[in-house]
Chains A and B, each alone.
Chain A
C-alpha cells in the first residue's frame, strides 16, 4: 500500500498499472455480465416452461430435432421438463443469492473489520474470537442447522450464505486498517482535528477498497458454490423452482440413463465458479499484490 506515498513523486504512477490488466479479465467480466443478462431475460430466453413438463417427453437426450422449432437442446429430466430452460431460470437463484450474500457478508465483515482494526482493544478481541470460533468448525453444519430451523427461503439463504463469509473480510480488512492506522497521515489528520468517522470514510476506506473488491469477487464464487451445495442437500430453494444444485441432486438417480440432467447444470456451475474465482485472482494480482496467498 505504498501508492499514496508514490503519488507525490510519480503523478503518473497509475497509468502503467492500468495497462497491466490481463485480457482474460475482460472476458471474465463479459461472462458474468452474460450470466446476469440470462438471469434477467430468463423468460424470454428459455425455450420451454421450466416448471411444466410433458411426461411423454421424459428423459429425452439432448437433441437438435424438433417439429415446432423448440428442440430440447440439453434434453429433458425425469418429469419431461426442458433441462436448458431450467438451467436458464436456475441462473436467477444462483446469482441473486450469490450477489446478495456477498453484500451481506461484505457489509457485516467489512464494518467489523474496520472497527476492530481501528479501535483495537476489547472490540478487536471479541470480533477476532468470534471469527476464530466460526472458523473452528465446518460452517456447512451450522448452515444446514439454521436452514433446517428457519426454512429454506430466499432471505434465509442469503443471510446464512452471507454470514458464512464475513470472517474473511473482517480478518483481512482488520490487518490492513491496523497498519494504516499507524501511518503518519492518519495521526496528522486526527491531530488537525479530523473526526474518526471522517478518517475512516475519507482516508481508510479508499485505501482498503481494492482489497475489499478482491475478497468480494472470491467470495462470490464461494457463495454460489455454497448455495448450490445447500440446494444439492435439499436445503436450498425448494422445487419446483429450478436451481443448479437442486437439478444436480434430481439427476443423481438417473446418472446411468440420463446423465445430462446432472452434468449440464454441474458444468455451468463449475465454469461459473472457475471464472469468478479466477477473476478474483487476477484482480488481486493487479490491484493488491500484497494479498497473495491470503485465501
Chain B
C-alpha cells in the first residue's frame, strides 16, 4: 500500500505522539506529588525564603502555565535545573547514563552469547538431556523476579564463595553479578525463542529438500535454517533490549549501581522533578529508538513487513 517511506513517516509520527504522552503523564504525576521546597530548605527556614525558592523554580505559577513552559522546554531538550544537584537536569541524567549503558550492554551481550547457541543446540538436539535441562532453567529464569535473582547471586557468589563484590561500580568484577541479574530474563527469553524459531524452520519443506539433496547437517543448520530463523529472533531480541531498561531500575537498586535507573528512584524520593522527567524521557527515547530501528531493520530484511 504505502511505500517504505510512508511506513517510516507513520511510525515516526506515532513515536512523537508517544513521547508527548509520556512527558505529559510524567509532568502531571510529579506535580501531583507535592511540594519539593520543604525538602530543599532546613525545617526552620522563614516563609519568605520558601516563597523565593518557589518563585525561582517557577512553582508559583498556575499549572497550565507551568505545563506550557515545560513543553516548550522539552522541545528544546531543556528539563530545567535539578533541585537536588543544582545542575541542568539533563546533564545530571546524561552523566548517569554511561554506567547504565555499560551494565545494559554487558548484560545483553552475555545473554545473547549464552542463549543463542543454547537455543540452536536445543532445537537441533531436540528432546535430548541438554534440551530438557536448559529449557527448564530458561522457564524458571523467565518467571523469576529480577530482584530475587540478584539476592540469590549475592548470597551464593558474593557472600558464600566471596568471588565478586556485593555492590558498587569498579573493575569488571563489579559488573558480573548485576549483568547476570539484569540479563537473566533476556537470556531465558532469547534461548526459548531461538529454539522455537529454529525448530519451526527445521520442519520446512526446503530443509527436507536440502537434506534429501545430501547437504551436510551442519550446512543445513548454519546456512538454510539460521538465516530463515533470524527474523523472529531479531524481533524478540530487540524487544528484550527495551525491557532491559525497565529491569535496570530494579537491578541498579539491588546492587547500588550508579546508573540512570537508581538515579530515577532516588530523584522520585527527593521529589527532584526535573531529573525524574529527564530520566523517564531518556528511557522512553531509547526504547522508542530501539523499536523504530527494529522496524526499519525488519522492513529491510522482510519486504512483507512494509505494508
Check A129 against B17 for contact (C-beta < 8 Å). yes
10 extra interchain contacts, Cβ-Cβ under 8 A, other than A255-B154, A266-B148, A277-B142? A129-B17, A132-B18, A136-B19, A136-B287, A138-B248, A138-B287, A140-B246, A141-B249, A255-B155, A273-B143
A257-295 interface code vs B (CB 8 A; 1 in, 0 out): 001001100100110011001100000000000001100
Q: What residues on A are CB-neighbors of B269 within 8 Å?
A: 148
Check A141 against B283 for contact (C-beta < 8 Å). yes
A189 to B143, CA, bound (A): 43
A-B contact pairs, 23 of them (CB 8 A): A129-B14, A132-B14, A132-B17, A136-B19, A137-B22, A141-B268, A141-B279, A144-B264, A145-B26, A145-B30, A149-B29, A149-B34, A221-B143, A225-B143, A225-B145, A228-B145, A229-B145, A248-B148, A255-B151, A270-B144, A273-B144, A278-B143, A293-B193
- Which B residues form the contact surface with A (CB < 8 A)? 14, 17-19, 21-22, 25-26, 29-30, 32-34, 139-140, 142-148, 151-152, 154-155, 159, 193, 196, 232, 245-246, 248-250, 253, 261, 264-265, 268-269, 276, 279-280, 283-284, 287-288, 291
What's the least CB distance linking B122 to chain A, in Å?
A: 16
Check B264 against A141 for contact (C-beta < 8 Å). yes
Check B18 against A293 for contact (C-beta < 8 Å). no
What's the least CB distance linking A149 to chain B, in Å?
A: 4
A229 to B261, CA, bound (A): 14
Q: What residues on A are CB-neighbors of B25 within 8 Å?
A: 133, 142
* A277 with B143, Cβ < 8 A, contacts A129-B21, A144-B268, A293-B232 known: yes
**Residue among A141, A146, A262, A266 facing the most chain B CB atoms (10 A cut-off):** A141
Check A145 against B276 for contact (C-beta < 8 Å). yes
Q: What residues on A are CB-neighbors of B21 within 8 Å?
A: 129-130, 133
The total of interchain contacts (Cβ-Cβ below 8 angstroms) comes to: 124
Give 8 closest A-B pairs by Cβ, nearest first.
Answer: A138-B246, A133-B21, A149-B33, A137-B284, A133-B18, A266-B148, A274-B143, A273-B143
What's the least CB distance linking B186 to chain A, in Å?
A: 14
Q: Determine the residue in chain B with the shortest Cβ distance to A145.
A: B29
Check B22 against A133 for contact (C-beta < 8 Å). yes
Interface residue? A232 (CB, 8 A): yes
What is the interface of chain A mostly: helix, strand, loop, or mixed?
Answer: helix
Check B22 against A140 for contact (C-beta < 8 Å). no
Q: Which of B17, B147, B148, B280 contacts A137 (CB 8 A)?
A: B280
A156 to B261, CA, bound (A): 23
Interface residues in A182-235 by Cβ distance below 8 A to B read 221, 225, 228-229, 232-233
Check A133 against B148 for contact (C-beta < 8 Å). no
A129 to B24, CA, bound (A): 14
Q: What residues on A are CB-neighbors of B26 within 8 Å?
A: 142, 145
A30 to B14, CA, bound (A): 45
Chain A: residues with Cβ within 8 Å of the partner, total of: 40
Interface residues in A34-54 by Cβ distance below 8 A to B read none
Q: Determine the residue in chain A with the shortest Cβ distance to B248.
A: A138
- Which A residues form the contact surface with B (CB < 8 A)? 129-130, 132-133, 135-142, 144-146, 148-149, 221, 225, 228-229, 232-233, 245, 248, 252, 255-256, 259, 262-263, 266, 269-270, 273-274, 277-278, 292-293
What's the least CB distance linking A174 to chain B, in Å?
A: 15
A129 to B279, CA, bound (A): 22
A214 to B159, CA, bound (A): 40
What's the least CB distance linking A75 to chain B, in Å?
A: 15
What's the least CB distance linking B132 to chain A, in Å?
A: 15
Check B145 against A138 for contact (C-beta < 8 Å). no
What's the least CB distance linking A255 to chain B, in Å?
A: 5
Check A148 against B268 for contact (C-beta < 8 Å). yes
Check A274 against B139 for contact (C-beta < 8 Å). yes
Q: What residues on B are CB-neighbors of A266 within 8 Å?
A: 145, 148, 151-152
Check B232 against A269 for contact (C-beta < 8 Å). no
Check B283 against A138 for contact (C-beta < 8 Å). yes
* A136 with B145, Cβ < 8 A, contacts A145-B276, A149-B29, A262-B151 known: no
Check A145 against B33 for contact (C-beta < 8 Å). yes
A135 to B242, CA, bound (A): 9
What's the least CB distance linking A92 to chain B, in Å?
A: 19
* A139 with B246, Cβ < 8 A, contacts A132-B18, A273-B145 known: yes
